[in-house]
Amino acid sequence: MKEITITTQFKVFDSIQDLPNDIQDLMTQAVEVRKNAYAPYSKFRVGVALVLDNGKIVVGSNQENAAYPSGLCAERVAIFYAGAVYPEAKILKMAITAASDTNQTTAPIPPCGSCRQSIAEYEIRQETPIEIYFMGEIGAIYKSESLKNLLPFMFDKKFL
């Protein structure tokens, strides 16, 4: 038997004000669009803003449905829109924020597993990493240089 060790590395910012100016703007847009989330069931609102290599910014918020799992997470709303409207553009950076209607979220909240796999598809397809910044409602922000930090064993087309 062999054993392997996998390590990941994240940068940590104490608040939005500590982020580089362009990322402050991106995270602020994510916070704003989070207010548009349709989350009557989970009471958990997520907002995402991503910047493309063509300079466009695309936003998304989670959209729930009583016929679960027919809704979509904010990350997938944004990346699928970007893929549909700007199919040749690369996603450079993604800012994610989440807040609960029932309690204050103070820890950084990463993308769920389905969103990680969807982000992985775009990162692999474009052959360049996507910087991912994520936070709760307030508090620290984590920065990942690539989705690979969040999903080190990515499933992709090479396995098919």
Does the annotation list 65 as a binding residue? yes
Q: CATH topology for 11-159?
A: Cytidine Deaminase; domain 2 (3.40.140)
Provide the pLDDT confidence category of residue 85 given band limits of 50, 70 and 90.
Answer: very high
What pLDDT shows up at residue 90?
98
What pLDDT shows up at residue 84?
97
What predicted TM-score, i.e. pTM, was given to this entire model?
0.95
Instruction: Round to whole Å and give the CA distance between 45 and 156.
Output: 29
Does the annotation list 74 as a binding residue? no
Domain boundaries defined on the chain: 11-159
Mean of pLDDT over the chain: 96
Q: Sort 146 into a burial class: Cβ within 10 Å, 0-12 / 13-18 / 19+.
A: middle
Task: Specify the range with the lowest mean pLDDT, choosing from 3-7, 24-28, 31-35.
Answer: 3-7
Does the annotation list 64 as a binding residue? yes
The pairing of beta strand 131-135 with beta strand 57-61: unpaired
Instruction: Round to whole Å and give the CA distance between 33 and 51.
Output: 14
Q: Tell me which of 70 and 133 has the higher pLDDT.
A: 133
Residue 3: other Cβ atoms inside 10 A: 4
CB 18 within 8 A of CB 133: no
Instruction: Round to whole Å and give the CA distance between 109 and 65.
Output: 22
Which residues are marked as active site?
75
Checking if the pLDDT of 59 tops 90, the result is yes
Instruction: Round to whole Å and give the CA distance between 33 and 40.
Output: 16
Instruction: Round to whole Å and give the CA distance between 148 and 54.
Output: 23
Provide the pLDDT confidence category of residue 52 given band limits of 50, 70 and 90.
Answer: very high
